[in-house]
Amino acid sequence: MIDRYAVIGNPISQSKSPLIHATFAKAMNQDLEYGLVEGPLDGFAAAVREFQRSGGRGMNVTAPFKLQAFKLADEKSEGAQLAGAANALKFEADGRILAENFDGIGLTNDIVRNLGVALAGQRVLVLGAGGAVRGLLLPFLAQTPAELVIANRDAGKAAQLAQQLAAHGKVRGGGYADIGAIRFDIVVNATSASLRAELPPVSPEVFAIGGLAYELAYGRGLTPFLRLAQNAGVKRLADGVGMLVEQAAEAFVWWRGVRPQTRALIDQMTIPLQ
């Protein structure tokens, strides 16, 4: 029987994961099938178990199920534990479910390898304190930035995250007003504001000229955040398509044991930022 994989979410028809994994499978000569599962909002676990029973080997998990995927798993990686969320599941032959969270490593790989921007020794500002931020903090801190600041509308959430991560590096968190008069080499918009064409309440003065502004949302061209950065003089702008492809590549390695190339696919999927 052919190995089956799928991405589960709700809604799910917009997902690019089938395209990405089909491209990887073809390039790597892997015989597999990758589909879409629309998980019922009140029936995530049952939908996963059903897929597993029908011969599924693994799943990617997207909104709104990342927390439930984490809870369902029998074994969880350190990254998934810290995030309290999983974006990839592997089904073992004995029925156990393993959980991983590759969002943060995907973003880190995109910034460091694809964009050629080091995180080490840099001042990094992350906007937001939701699920995506929880996943990216540990991989970011592993790169030893000079300082990592988390700013969120709900300041308490950012402060709490920073406190949880304190043992892993120099990190602080609070509201937008707590950022301070500092310019950051890398500013990451990990809020969901761009999905509604809104701008997080960040000052244009946080951007260091010569730095990088990274928008986690993708396929939306110049979002209000990227436009703010551009108007502030930032030349290096990126959206989250590279992160999406890189997290998929990590899941592919985890499931199949071979690492696909990502560059051509990222180029093919990139919508110009203008």
Cβ-contact 208, 192 below 8 angstroms: no
| Residue with Cβ nearer ligand NDP (16 or 236) | 16
Q: Helix 17-27 to helix 241-256 angle, to the nearest 10 degrees?
A: 50
Using the rule CB under 6 A, is 20 a contact of ligand NDP? no
Using the rule CB under 6 A, is 39 a contact of ligand NDP? no
Out of 16, 26, 66, 90, the active site residue is 66
Is residue 66 part of the annotated active site? The answer reads yes
Other residues' Cβ atoms within 10 Å of the Cβ of residue 263: 11
Site stretch for ligand NDP (CB under 6 A), options 13-21, 67-75, 111-119, 152-160: 152-160
Cβ-contact 218, 195 below 8 angstroms: no
Closest CA to 61 of 31, 91, 99, 26: 99
Residue 67, judged by CB atoms within 10 A of its CB (0-12, 13-18, 19+), counts as middle
Using the rule CB under 6 A, is 195 a contact of ligand NDP? yes
Site stretch for ligand NDP (CB under 6 A), options 15-23, 28-36, 93-101, 195-203: 195-203
Please state the closest distance from residue 30 (CB atom) to ligand NDP, in A.
Answer: 22
Distance CA 30, CA 13 (A): 24
> Which residue in the set 47, 151, 179, 193 belongs to the binding site for ligand NDP (CB under 6 A)?
193
Rg (CA), the chain: 18
Other residues' Cβ atoms within 10 Å of the Cβ of residue 117: 17
Residue nearest to ligand NDP (CB): 130
Q: Could you give phi then psi for residue 23, rounded to 5 degrees?
A: -65, -45
Site stretch for ligand NDP (CB under 6 A), options 38-46, 75-83, 123-131, 141-149: 123-131
Using the rule CB under 6 A, is 218 a contact of ligand NDP? yes
Please state the closest distance from residue 62 (CB atom) to ligand NDP, in A.
Answer: 8
Q: Which residues bind ligand NDP (CB under 6 A)?
A: 103, 128-133, 152-154, 157, 190-195, 198, 200, 216-218, 240, 243-244, 247
The catalytic residues are: 66
